[in-house]
Structure 1
């Protein structure tokens, strides 16, 4: 009997270690994700959440290496890097992809959307789907926004300045730091008359402190982390356009993953968006109080009517110049 039992056990061991061995460890894929924001910013904290969720949902098969504060390049460089595959992923406001599709220029034009609900409907419309297909052709697959979630940013935009801004006339001649965007140049330079200087985000605080510029536009949730209100004591709600955090991944890298991993990445992005959206307003309220207490900042709420009146005449002009596709503004207004 003992001899027979020994033979059985030996056979089981010989058949691939059926009961007693473990399968080899699966290879781990580390994805490089670039952002211009710091680890302590609202976006930076959200990417920490995303990284943990990705590792959890893929059971450790995929990890995220975040290059904060432009460690993998500024957002314009990241567009090319993700397209080529030298960086796997990036996060930026969706308007940043205007360099790949002129139709997206309209996102950063001022006062296109009636309200945030109108903007959300645009994000889920066939109009934006046309742009997403073009961007896919440039090597970027969208994880966010998707049909289940939009990662809000801001929750609105402001103008931080060294002097109070109450109307559009106060912007004329203002020395304004701006990001690289043809649309933003049209709005702030041509329509509103500011004197524009293009300065990388990470260099803006020093430019403000040294007097190179005297104002900067920004999402509200970015102000405290980067300490703009140490220099710019006045913060005006301008709300010229809505923003959302957009997450893309190199298309070839995306296609290399199994359906299960693709689902895990999408689910992690969706869950991150929902988590950060619930935190946004509480965090912004806390930041505003800190800016008031620590920096002596004053928050100014104004009617945007004078800004809208200055900007609106440029819609037809830009369409006639094919700055964005003709009829695009009307198509967006028809979204209900």
Structure 2
């Protein structure tokens, strides 16, 4: 009898072990992940996040499911990142600068004209300098899934203004909306502008009430924000490259099977390719609407003039101890 009981216990233990993977996922169990985003689901970015979720489900044969919560349903950006660290949500997708609390060097991405183009920015993110940032993020509980950093936002940046802006000289005295970044505001102050921090959702009203005269924006977000209703002059400045990162809690990631980890990484990188396709289509449609409904005028700049005007500020950051010595030249050498 004792021998029979022992055999039953052994068989039961074997069943329990075989039912669970070494990473703690039960065999046959559907793993669901909560992904929070800022963008509405009907935008190009919103559609890309859903495409990412669809890819994950397809690649995992339904064993891994990403539920997308668009339009800040789970809270503002910093709240969602806190949620990730607390374990109440698993993932957050937004601009990389949202994670600068974990490594201040992330903020270099929004310094005007430090990077020559998106390829230059990608070399920074995927090379040794970017790997150091990624290591710091992981050490602080956050992992970026789209390792190729190919989810381009924009795909370029413009300046919307009440009066035409054609040269750096036109920036002098300009009341320009800024986001909360000491690097960004100080950069525009260095060329004579008067930056004012205004919440993104309050920028249209600030323009309408003349609290600011201009705003910079990814071209893809101009029409949804209706900026050209109150600022009909558009200058293509492309001051810095922007991308979206799909981040996951490191605790959640490390608890997944290796197969599920790889599926998330592959799907995130494939989503970046889809984003480019959707964004290009959306921007073309938006430009036609802005021209026909708001009568916008579009200006190009002498980019080298703007690069030269901002270059002194790049090194000023090192002199003030806000960037490590030699960091700017190290970035520029990546071209």
TM-score, normalised via structure 1 length:
0.85
Alignment partner, residue 183 of structure 1: 183
1:129-208 matched pairs, under 5 angstroms: 129-144=131-146, 146-147=147-148, 150-188=150-188, 190-208=189-207
Does residue 265 of structure 1 match 2:267?
Answer: no
1:294-333 matched pairs, under 5 angstroms: 294-333=293-332
Contact 1:140 1:249 in 2 (8 A): yes
> Cα offset for 1:123?
2.1
SS at match of 2:73: coil
TM-aligned CA distance change 1:268 to 1:304, over 3 Å: same
Aligned length: 311
Contact 2:45 2:279 in 1 (8 A): no
> Cα offset for 1:319?
0.4
Alignment partner, residue 101 of structure 2: 99
TM-aligned CA distance change 1:133 to 1:75, over 3 Å: same
Alignment partner, residue 22 of structure 2: none
Greater Cα offset, 104-113 or 84-93 = 84-93
Contact 1:36 1:201 in 2 (8 A): no
The equivalent position to 1:78 in structure 2, one of 59, 77, 80, is 80
TM-aligned CA distance change 1:65 to 1:231, over 3 Å: farther
Does residue 66 of structure 1 match 2:68?
Answer: yes
Alignment partner, residue 279 of structure 2: 280
TM-aligned CA distance change 1:211 to 1:27, over 3 Å: farther
SS at match of 1:312: helix
Alignment partner, residue 3 of structure 2: none
Greater Cα offset, 271-280 or 319-328 = 271-280
> Cα offset for 1:118?
2.0
* Per-residue CA distance 1:48-97 (angstroms, 9 max, x = gap): 21122222222333333333222223223333332333332112222332
What is the distance in 2 between the residues matched to 1:223 and 1:128? 29
What is the distance in 2 between the residues matched to 1:69 and 1:170? 35
What is the distance in 2 between the residues matched to 1:182 and 1:76? 17
What is the distance in 1 between the residues matched to 2:85 and 2:168? 38
Contact 2:35 2:90 in 1 (8 A): yes
What is the distance in 2 between the residues matched to 1:210 and 1:41? 27
What is the distance in 2 between the residues matched to 1:179 and 1:253? 31
Greater Cα offset, 77-86 or 160-169 = 77-86
TM-aligned CA distance change 1:202 to 1:284, over 3 Å: same
Contact 1:154 1:219 in 2 (8 A): yes
Contact 1:102 1:325 in 2 (8 A): no
> Cα offset for 1:25?
9.4
What is the distance in 2 between the residues matched to 1:253 and 1:72? 18
* Per-residue CA distance 1:303-332 (angstroms, 9 max, x = gap): 133432332112222102221222111111
What is the distance in 2 between the residues matched to 1:169 and 1:67? 43
Q: Provide structure 2 residue ranges, at least 5 long, that are not aligned to the other structure.
A: 1-14, 16-25
1:225-264 matched pairs, under 5 angstroms: 225-264=224-263
Q: Provide structure 1 residue ranges, at least 5 long, that are not aligned to the other structure.
A: 1-15, 17-23
Alignment partner, residue 5 of structure 1: none
What is the distance in 2 between the residues matched to 1:29 and 1:211? 50
TM-aligned CA distance change 1:85 to 1:203, over 3 Å: farther
What is the distance in 2 between the residues matched to 1:39 and 1:300? 31
User: Which segments of structure 1 move beyond 6 Å, counting only runs of 4 or more?
Assistant: none
> Cα offset for 1:251?
0.5
